[in-house]
Amino acid sequence: MELNDRKKRILQAVVSDYIETAEPVGSRTIARKYVTDLSPATIRNEMADLEEMGYLEQPHSSAGRVPSVMGYRVFVDNIMEKYKLSVMETIRMQEVMNEQAQQFDKLIEKASRVIASVTNYATVAVSTGHKRSKLKAIQIAPVSSKEMVLIIVTFDGTVKNKLIRLKNDVEPEDAVRLSKEMTGRLSGLSLNEISLETINSIKNEFYSLEELVGAIIGFVSEVIGEIDSKQVIVDGGVNLLKFPEYSNIEKAKEILEVLDNKEQLSNMISLPMPTGNKVNILIGDEKNGVKLKDCSLVLCNYEFNGSSGTIGVIGPTRMDYARVVSALEYLCEGMRPQLEGGVTKNDQEKK
């Protein structure tokens, strides 16, 4: 049986109304609100055909129909119309993209929070890390002869500090001299570019400060290693509890346990993007080994100053896919790598 234009219109109406109301949709509702040129009887027959074809389901005999996973799939792939973001929605996301100089982890946290707020679903962001994070400066601030505050600055804007306690006394001027020398030798290098030869050379030159040199190298490794490692950020989990799908305690517990398992989330959204697609939409059991029958996931890859990762939106299968897709595409496109001179693609287009 062919999915002709009439059936597509009716399927679109069922999906749209079910997204809005979370109630099974009847033929009279469709005739009144969406397909006014057809009678309820004609629509009822078409809905029966759509159910037979597997695109609709009937929760019980006296109810209307709801979309099946296959119905949602046809909707998002072939029927869904593009959603136009509101002025306020674009402003909120533009604020995130304009903060290009902020620390990478803070940027992704804020992006996740904004997407959760705009869509009213939960968001998950996985950063694969910079892998090329480079040291910019090392500063040593003496507190006493045996206490030093180490400050590490990277080129991506990350600033970390740590108080260390030494066994041996260090003169303030020696600490300043060491910080200048180490900055001069190591600035511009990633972790795997800092050779043992360079470290030993610094230790030999500052042999009386070997303990402090070792502490600094250890802190540099700790900071850059943390930046380069994969990060998983979750936001908006509480949003899901507002939906009737999760009013059942067991279902609510199931989704919250998944959101709390960062390793499982990372595996779930670390999937290759379909060729030519900006987003990947996973419906029901299509997700990577995670059984969340009544849940969908929309993913979009992002890039930012040499970093990359994926940000996704998790919600019920009746989520507003068009709105979610538009929000993710807008955000991820705005986070593309900066052009020379600090001009982004969006800025260039405005000119």
Determine contact, residues 302/308, Cβ cutoff 8 Å: yes
Q: Between the CA of residue 122 and those of 177, 183, 195, 218, 283, what are the distances in Å? A: 49, 42, 43, 37, 15
Q: Does 21 map to a domain?
A: yes
Indicate whether 303 and 327 sit together in one domain. yes
Determine contact, residues 94/149, Cβ cutoff 8 Å: no
- 149-198 pLDDT, tens digit per residue, is 999 998 877 788 999 999 999 999 999 999 999 999 999 888 778 888 88
Q: How confident is the model at residue 8 (pLDDT cuts 50, 70, 90)?
A: very high
Residue 194 DSSP label: S
- Mean pLDDT to the nearest integer, 5-33: 95
Query: Which pLDDT score is estimated for 128?
Result: 67
| C-alpha to C-alpha distance for 271 and 252, rounded to whole angstroms | 25
- 131-150 pLDDT, tens digit per residue, is 567 889 999 999 999 999 99
Indicate whether 244 and 333 sit together in one domain. yes
> Residue 57 phi/psi, 5° resolution?
-130, 155
* DSSP string computed for 135-176: EEEEEEEEEETTEEEEEEEETTS-EEEEEEE-SS---HHHHH
> Which of 199, 151, 207, 200 is closest to 174 using CA atoms?
207
Bridging pattern class, strands 307-316 and 66-67: unpaired
Indicate whether 68 and 91 sit together in one domain. no
How many angstroms from the chain centroid is the CA of residue 29? 37
Q: Does 278 map to a domain?
A: yes
| C-alpha to C-alpha distance for 67 and 197, rounded to whole angstroms | 64
Residue 191 DSSP label: G
Determine contact, residues 299/271, Cβ cutoff 8 Å: yes
Q: Does 341 map to a domain?
A: yes
Which of 228, 258, 282 marks a domain boundary? 228
Query: Which pLDDT score is estimated for 350?
Result: 42
- Mean pLDDT to the nearest integer, 10-21: 95
How many angstroms from the chain centroid is the CA of residue 97? 14
Indicate whether 246 and 334 sit together in one domain. yes
> Residue with structure tokens 């397909």?
35
Range of the domain at 214: 135-228
Residue 99 DSSP label: -
Q: Does 130 map to a domain?
A: no
Tally of structural domains, the chain: 3
Tokens of 49: 């055909």
| C-alpha to C-alpha distance for 221 and 219, rounded to whole angstroms | 5
Tokens of 340: 């020379």
| C-alpha to C-alpha distance for 17 and 34, rounded to whole angstroms | 9
CB-based burial of residue 56 (10 Å sphere; 0-12 exposed, 13-18 middle, 19+ buried)? buried
Q: How confident is the model at residue 95 (pLDDT cuts 50, 70, 90)?
A: confident
pTM equals 0.69
Query: Which pLDDT score is estimated for 305?
Result: 65
Query: Which pLDDT score is estimated for 253?
Result: 85
Tokens of 347: 């800025």
Q: Give the CB-side neighbour count of residue 178, counting CA atoms within 13 A.
A: 30
| C-alpha to C-alpha distance for 28 and 350, rounded to whole angstroms | 47
Indicate whether 198 and 304 sit together in one domain. no
| C-alpha to C-alpha distance for 259 and 233, rounded to whole angstroms | 10
Indicate whether 160 and 291 sit together in one domain. no
- 196-232 pLDDT, tens digit per residue, is 888 889 989 998 998 999 999 988 888 877 766 667 8
Residue 38 DSSP label: S
Q: Does 127 map to a domain?
A: no
- CATH label of the domain that carries residue 181: 3.30.390.60
Query: Which pLDDT score is estimated for 250?
Result: 84
Residue 103 pLDDT exceeds 70: no
Indicate whether 110 and 184 sit together in one domain. no
- 249-291 pLDDT, tens digit per residue, is 888 888 888 888 877 777 777 666 655 568 889 887 655 555 5
- 47-61 pLDDT, tens digit per residue, is 999 999 999 999 887
Indicate whether 178 and 198 sit together in one domain. yes
| All residues at 6 or more sequence positions from 99 whose CB lies less than 8 Å from its CB, including other chains | 107, 110
